[in-house]
Structure 1
Amino acid sequence: MLCLKRVVARVFSDRSRETLGKLQQVLLSSFDTRFYCTGDYAAYRIHTA
């Protein structure tokens, strides 16, 4: 049986690698997650140069 859960957050600090790490550790560690940014906001800056 497939169980899907969705977490939607409008504001959770700045969109940085540090914030993404906090989200993964604190809120989302027990879930397989995919991240989407909407509303014309820039994506989390997780790409390395």
Structure 2
Amino acid sequence: LPTGVAAGGGGTGSGLRGMRERAALLGGRARTGPLGDEWQVHVDLPVT
């Protein structure tokens, strides 16, 4: 998403944290943050 676009609002504020927690439960990792002028969500999960 472009970093200048506001979120829709109304959320609980735990979406990204919950994504990181769920990825960790599966032995993976989730990273979020700005990448240039966009916002990146990257999740690595093991394949077993």
TM-score range relative to shorter protein: under 0.3
Q: TM-score, normalised by structure 1?
A: 0.27
Question: Relative CO higher for 1 or 2, CA cutoff 8 Å, sep ≥ 6?
Answer: 1
Query: Of Structure 1 and Structure 2, which has the larger fraction of its residues in strand?
Result: 2
